[in-house]
Chain A
C-alpha cells in the first residue's frame, strides 16, 4: 500500500473546510505550508520569491525621495457590499502613499488570524487582496502571519505598509492650503461607512449601498499631470470629509467655507444617515479624494478629475478662507451658516 504514496508527499492545505489553528502561526511546517499554498501563490512575484526575512528592493530614480505609510485594518464585517477587508487593506495604504504625491511601488502585509477562522474565507480575502494589488500594479513584497487564540481576535486583522517614490520638487502637505484656494472632492461622500453601517444594522434599502473602496493613485496621477500646482491631497477616511478638512485647516492655519448644496451625497446614503442620526460629512470614504488647488486652477483640476472613471462625480464644494481660528464653516441649504467641527469621539463601530 505504501507504494501508492509518493515520497515526500504533503497533504495540501484544506482550503474548503479547514480552519486556522495555532500551528499556522507557530513558525513550523504548518505555517510554511500556509504561506506557500495561500499567500505566496496568490501574491506571486519575484520579490516575494526571494524567500528571505526581508526583501531587497531597487533604489528609486535619482532625485526621488521615499514615502512610507502604514494602515491597520480591523473592519467588521469582513465582507461588505462593494468589497472586503482584503481589497480595502490594499487600497487604504496605496491611497495614503498616493495622496503624498508619490508613485506607490511596494506593499508589505501583516496578518493577525484568529484560531478557528475558516481557511475558505481567508482564501477569499487573500485572493481579493492579490487582485487589488495586481490591478493597482503595486506588489505585496513581504509579509508576516500570526495566529491568536480563539476569542482574542475578530477573524482577521490586516496591517499593510506601503512605500512610494516622490518625484523631485513635489511637496504636497496639509499645511499648504491658502486663503482663496478651491476645495474639491472626487465624488459622493459617505458610501463606504454607510455600506458597513447598513449591513451591521441590517438596514434594507431598495438599492444596496456599496463601499467606494478603490485605489486612487491613477486618479491622482492624472490630476497632478493636469494641475502640478495642487496644494493638498487627502483621502477622507475615518471621520469623513469634516475631519479631513478640519485637519487641513488646523495644519495650514486657515478656515474654510463650504456650500452644503454643492457636496455630492448619494440619496440612499443621505436617507440611511437620516435614519441612523448620522451626518454624511462625518462618514468614512475609502475611494475619495479631497483636493485643494489654487482658485485659478480649479476648473482644470475638476476637468481632470471628471475625466477619470473614479472622479466622474467630482465637485467644487467650497473655498479656503483666512481665519486664524481654523474654523470650517458651511452655508446650509436652508440658508444659515454653521460650523463643521471635528468629530467628537462617537462610539461608532469598526469601519476600516
Chain B
C-alpha cells in the first residue's frame, strides 16, 4: 500500500507539470485536467494535488501568481519555470522508460522463459 502511494506521488508531480505545460492554470483547473485526461480513472485527492503544487513551487519548478479568472474571481495561477520544464522533460523520459520496461515484462509470454 505504501509502495503504491510513493509511486503515486512521483507520478503526480509529472502529471501536474504536464498539466501546466500548456500554460498557467490554477489548482482547480489542474485537478480538472487530470481528471478529464484520465477519463476519471485516476482518483487523486485534491489535498495531495495541492501538496504537489506547493512542494514543486518550493523547489522553484513552479511559480505562482494571483490572477482574475474568466468568472472574475481571484485565483492563484501556477506556471512552469524554466527549471520546471527541464524537470518535466527528465521525468517524462524516465517515466516512459520505466513504464515501457514494466509493460514489456508484463507482456512477455511464458514460452520465452522456457527457452
Q: Do these two chains interact?
A: no
